[in-house]
Every structure is written in structure tokens, then in C-alpha cells.
């Protein structure tokens, strides 16, 4: 069974081919146009998607050695995301599905981030999580703890009440004068710094919910105060600041994940979303796994930030359940799991 996946929810246009759960191609066009604005500009994003979508899909088909007539279905991101961006992917998916007369499958972007763990590996197809599976999804827009009882059966048990984990990285990076998106830059700088150089307070929130806006504010005030004393603070203390910030964010993320695992008794544990690429978080998870008898699952880097392979794999599991949608479907910018 051959599925074409299309992802266009934010600032990356991506298309992928998945055949029986294996990825044949996963092509990505990242949009550089937003860098100078320090964040994604929605109107520019949708225009860039429109320019990128045909060459990206064409490339995905060609590198997989597939022609449109070989496809069994097209899966596309229906939401959540930016309306204009979603419209480009949705409209393109509808048009192509109509022209080759194959079913259309709508995909929730967040569900897809988690199902990225179920992409089969050629050498080791058995190595996917077992159910129930507890997954921490952290991206630029979302932070959620999700319990998965089956491929398409997910329950959110915790979420952020304000900023997302990736947003905390990005906003604090901006305070440090680093380029957007700041997460990967902080990660790189942190490797050269002392994580115990500075201490930032962590939120005290009951249950499994997260909060990052307090950290963002205290980080901003701390940096401002230091700059008053030493105008070169951001140069001399850059790496230490990045390492201490990363340590705090990772510790906030891990605390609730550990609590959720203890409460639910689930020890099949994964992380998903752009922040799953963070080396501090990956190391913390591996460390914790040793002491806690966890089986941990870290997505490959290319499947953890936004990508169409995760959309196509979700399409694959939905195809097995014949979960198709009509051509009347419209994007849903605020779609929930
Ligand atoms: O999943 P994603 O690609 O897009 C969204 O759906 O949001 O996640 C993007 C987020 C950004 O906030 C980016 O800074 C963060 O993931 N990110 C990282 C790293 N790589 C990407 N944050 C920390 N460390 C990284 N290595
Ligand atoms: Zn995402």
C-alpha cells in the first residue's frame, strides 16, 4: 500500500512516500524567508508553500520511484496550524486525489508527531513502542503528555497552560540575541557551557500540566539586570546561559513525564516534536531510562521536526481502518487530538 503524505501546517513544505509502513522518500523545503523577522510570518509562509508544493511532491514521487497512478491514498495535514498554510496542502491534496481517483485521508499534525514512532525501520521493523505508550510531545506550538492505547486512540493527560517548550527555547534565545528558531542554537551553545552557572526557578503546578511563561519572564529580567552591570554579559556568559536555560527546560519537561509514568505505570516512553531533537532532553531521557526500567523511543531527527513521513505513516494506519474523508473537508487551524 503506497501513501503520499503532505505537510504544510507551519513553515516547512514536505512530501513523503510511505509503502506498507516504510518510508521511501521524505522531502522537505524549509522557508528561510522568516529568519529576519524572528518568527513565522503567516502570509509569507502560505506564499512559499504555494511555490514549493509542486516541486516538493514531484521530488518525493521521483526519489521513491513512484508515479501518481501507483498511489493508494493521499494523507494531508488538516490541522492544527496556520490557516493559509494548511489551505495550500489541503487544496493540493484534494486536487491530486481527485485527478487519480484515490481516497483522501485527513491527519492531525499532533497525532502524526506521535505516530512518527511507528514508522517501520527496514532493518528492525519490530522495534516500535508497545501499547500503552506514554509520549511527551514538545514543539514550537505544543507541549502535551499523551497516553496512546492504540494507533489511533490517544488521550491527552497534561498540557501547557501558556507557552510551549519550543517557544520557551525560542523566546529566551531571542532575549540572548540569537537567531530564530533559537532551540537548536541554544542546544549547540549549551554543549560548551556550565549548566550550573545560573539557576532559574521552575513552576509549581499540580497534575501533569506545564507552564513556561514564568521562566521566560524571569530569564528576561535576569538578563536585563546582568546587562546593566556588564554590557558584555551576553558575550561572556553566552554558553553558560544557554546550558543553564536548557537544563531548566529539560528538568521541567522530565519532572512531569516521570510523574506521569509513575502514576500510569506505563514504561514504554517516547518524546516527539521539534524539541525531541534537543540533546539535553535526549540524554536526560536515556539516563532516567536506566534507573527506571523504561523502554525509551527517540525519533530519528528527520522524523522529529515537522515532516511529511509522519503524515504518511498516520495515513497508513488510518487507511487500514478505512478512515477516509470527502472532498468537502476544510482545514481546521485549531484541531484537537
Ligand atoms: O515540531 P516542530 O518542527 O514545529 C512545530 O510544530 O512547532 O518544532 C519546532 C520547535 C522550535 O521551537 C525549535 O526551536 C525547536 O522545535 N527545536 C529545538 C531543537 N530543534 C528544534 N529545541 C531545542 N533543541 C533543539 N535541538
Ligand atoms: Zn510540528
Q: How many alpha carbons fall within 13 Å on the CB side of residue 227?
A: 13
The reply to whether 60 and 166 lie within a common domain is no
**Residue with the larger pLDDT of the pair 210 and 302:** 210
Query: For the segment 46-86, what is each residue's pLDDT rounded down to a tens digit?
Result: 999 999 999 999 999 999 999 999 999 999 999 999 999 99
* Ligand 1 mean position, distance from CA 170 (Å): 8
Span 288-312, mean pLDDT? 94
Q: Which atom of ligand 1 is nearest to the CA of 164?
A: 12
- The size of the chain, in residues, is 337
CA atoms within a 13 Å half-sphere pointing along the CA-CB vector of 155:
10
210 Cβ closer than 6 Å to some ligand 1 atom: no
Supply the DSSP string of 48-71, one letter for each residue: HHHHHHHHHHHHHHHHHT--GGG-
Query: Both 22 and 146 in a single domain?
Result: no
Q: Are residues 48 and 97 in the same domain?
A: yes
Residue 330 lies in a domain: no
Atom number, ligand 1, closest to the C-alpha of residue 280:
24
Q: Which atom of ligand 1 is nearest to the CA of 12?
A: 3
Domain limits for position 249: 133-302
- Mean pLDDT across 294-303: 93
Nearest protein CA to atom 11 of ligand 1, as residue: 140
Do 160 and 228 have their domain in common? yes
Same domain (yes/no): 197, 309: no
Whether residues 178 and 270 share a domain: the answer is yes
Does 68 fall in a domain?
A: yes
Instruction: Give one DSSP letter per residue of 264-286, joined into a string.
Output: H---EEEEESGGGG-HHHHHHHH
Question: Quick check: CB of 139 below 6 Å from ligand 1?
Answer: yes
Consecutive H or E run containing 43: helix 42-64
The alpha carbon of 289 and the centre of ligand 1 are apart by a number of angstroms equal to 23
Phi, psi of 70 (to 5 degrees): -80, -15
- The CATH number that applies at residue 293 is 3.30.420.40
Q: How far is CA 97 from the centre of its chain?
A: 26
Whether 188 and 254 map to the same domain: the answer is: yes
Q: β-strand 104-108 against 73-79: which pairing, if any?
A: parallel
Q: What is the pLDDT of residue 40?
A: 85
Establish if 327 belongs to a structural domain. no
Q: Give tens-digit pLDDT for 2-19.
A: 999 999 999 899 999 999
pLDDT of residue 126: 83
* Same domain, residue pair 105 and 193: no
CA of 192 to the centre of ligand 1 (A): 20
Residue to probe by mutation, ligand 1, list 114, 166, 250, most atoms within 8 Å of CB: 166
Q: What percent of the chain has pLDDT over 70?
A: 100
Q: Is the pLDDT of residue 337 over 90?
A: no
Contacts of 99 (CB under 8 A, 6+ apart): 68
Asked if residue 144 and residue 91 are part of one domain, the reply reads no
Judge if the upstream peptide bond of residue 222 is cis by omega within 30 degrees of 0: no
* pLDDT at residue 37 in the model: 82
Of 124-128, 246-250, 279-283, the one with minimum mean pLDDT is: 124-128
What pLDDT is attached to residue 125?
A: 80
Contacts of 226 (CB under 8 A, 6+ apart): 233, 237
Average pLDDT of the chain is 96
In this structure, the answer to whether residues 104 and 73 fall within a common structural domain is yes
pLDDT at residue number 97: 98
Please state whether the peptide bond connecting residue 80 to the residue before it is cis, i.e. omega within 30 degrees of 0: yes
Distances (CA, A) of 40 to 69, 167, 169: 35, 12, 15
Q: 139 and 103, same structural domain?
A: no
pLDDT band at 173 (very low <50, low <70, confident <90, very high): very high
Q: What is the DSSP letter of 118?
A: G
| Residue 191 located in a structural domain | yes
Q: Quick one: pLDDT at residue 103?
A: 98
Q: Is 81 in the pocket of ligand 1 (CB under 6 A)?
A: no
**Structural domains of the chain, count:** 2
Reported confidence tier of residue 150, pLDDT bands at 50, 70, 90:
very high
Whether 123 has a pLDDT exceeding 90, the answer reads no
Task: Let me know if 68 is exposed, middle or buried by CB neighbors in 10 A (0-12, 13-18, 19+).
Answer: middle
Same domain, 218 and 160: yes
Instruction: State how far the Cα of 119 lies from the Cα of 135, in Å rounded to an integer.
Output: 15
Residue-wise pLDDT for 194-205, tens only, equals 999 999 999 999
Report if residue 168 sits inside a domain. Answer: yes
Please tell me if the CB atom of residue 12 comes closer than 6 angstroms to any atom of ligand 1: no
CA distance 206 to 256: 10
pLDDT beyond 90 at 319: yes
Q: Is 25 left (phi over 0), alpha (psi -120 to 50) or beta?
A: beta
Amino acid at each position: 500500500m503506497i501513501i503520499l503524505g503532505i505537510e504544510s501546517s507551519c513553515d516547512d513544505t514536505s512530501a513523503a512516500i510511505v509503502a506498507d509502513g516504510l518510508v521511501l522518500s521524505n522531502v522537505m523545503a524549509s522557508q528561510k524567508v522568516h529568519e529576519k523577522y524572528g518568527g513565522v510570518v503567516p502570509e509569507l509562509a502560505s506564499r512559499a508553500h504555494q511555490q514549493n508544493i509542486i516541486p516538493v511532491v514531484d521530488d518525493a514521487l521521483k526519489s521513491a520511484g513512484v508515479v501518481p497512478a501507483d498511489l493508494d491514498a493521499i494523507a494531508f495535514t488538516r490541522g492544527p496550524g496556520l490557516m493559509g498554510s494548511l489551505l495550500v496542502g489541503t487544496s493540493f491534496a484534494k486536487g491530486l486525489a481527485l485527478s487519480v481517483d484515490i481516497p483522501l485521508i485527513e491527519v492531525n499534525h499532533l497525532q502524526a508527531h506521535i505516530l512518527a514512532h511507528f514508522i517501520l525501520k527496514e532493518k528492525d521493523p519490530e522495534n516500535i513502542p508497545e501499547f500503552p505508550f506514554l509520549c511527551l510531545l514538545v514543539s514550537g506550538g505544543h507541549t502535551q503528555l499523551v497516553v496512546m492505547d492504540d494507533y489511533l486512540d490517544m488521550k491527552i493527560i497534561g498540557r501547557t497552560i501558556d507557552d510551549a517548550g519550543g517557544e520557551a527555547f525560542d523566546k529566551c534565545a531571542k532575549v540572548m540575541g540569537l537567531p530564530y528558531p533559537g532551540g537548536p542554537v541554544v542546544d549547540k551553545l549549551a554543549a560548551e557551557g556550565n549548566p550550573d552557572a545560573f539557576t532559574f526557578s521552575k513552576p509549581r503546578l499540580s497534575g501533569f500540566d506545564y507552564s513556561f511563561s514564568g521562566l521566560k519572564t524571569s530569564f528576561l529580567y535576569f538578563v536585563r539586570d546582568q546587562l546593566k552591570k556588564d554590557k558584555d554579559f551576553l558575550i561572556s556568559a553566552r554558553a553558560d546561559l544557554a546550558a543553564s536555560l536548557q537544563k531548566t527546560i529539560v528538568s521541567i519537561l522530565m519532572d512531569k513525564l516521570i510523574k506521569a509514568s509513575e502514576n500510569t505505570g506505563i514504561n514504554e516512553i517516547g518524546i516527539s516534536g521539534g524539541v525531541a531533537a534537543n540533546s539535553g532532553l535526549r540524554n536526560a531521557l536515556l539516563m532516567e531510562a536506566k534507573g527506571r526500567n523504561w523502554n525509551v523511543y527517540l525519533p530519528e531527527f528527520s522524523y522529529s521536526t515537522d515532516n511529511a513521513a509522519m503524515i504518511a505513516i498516520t495515513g497508513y494506519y488510518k487507511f487500514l481502518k478505512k478512515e477516509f474523508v470527502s472532498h468537502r473537508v476544510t482545514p481546521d487551524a485549531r484541531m484537537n487530538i
